[in-house]
Amino acid sequence: MRSFSYEGGDIVVRYRGGADAADLVVLVIRIDSFGGQSDTEREENPVVGQQYLFPAMGTPDPDVVTVTGIFRDGTQEQLLQTKV
């Protein structure tokens, strides 16, 4: 459904869609790096296949990626929390 990668210090989040993709209106992506930095982006109208780049947020240690979806009816759901 979603993929994440660590590329030389950058964290790349790719939205791969899902059964409810037509109803998803916002992705809220939060990166909490092992080094103590954090960054949150709100992505309106996400497109399947779209990538979101978080430059220099990755560390050699586990960094936490949390993705929350906001749907057309206003509901919010944590779609994923993982370490990269």
Tens of pLDDT, residue by residue over 23-68, are 999 999 999 998 899 999 999 999 999 999 999 888 888 999 999 9
pLDDT at 58: 87
The Cα-based distances of 68 to 59, 75, 82 in angstroms read 22, 10, 12
Residue 57: both structure tokens together: 């947020």
The pTM of this model reads 0.88
How far apart CA 11 and CA 56 sit, in angstroms, is 7
The third-level CATH classification (topology) of the domain covering 2-83 is Immunoglobulin-like (2.60.40)
Calpha distance 68→76 (Å, rounded)? 7
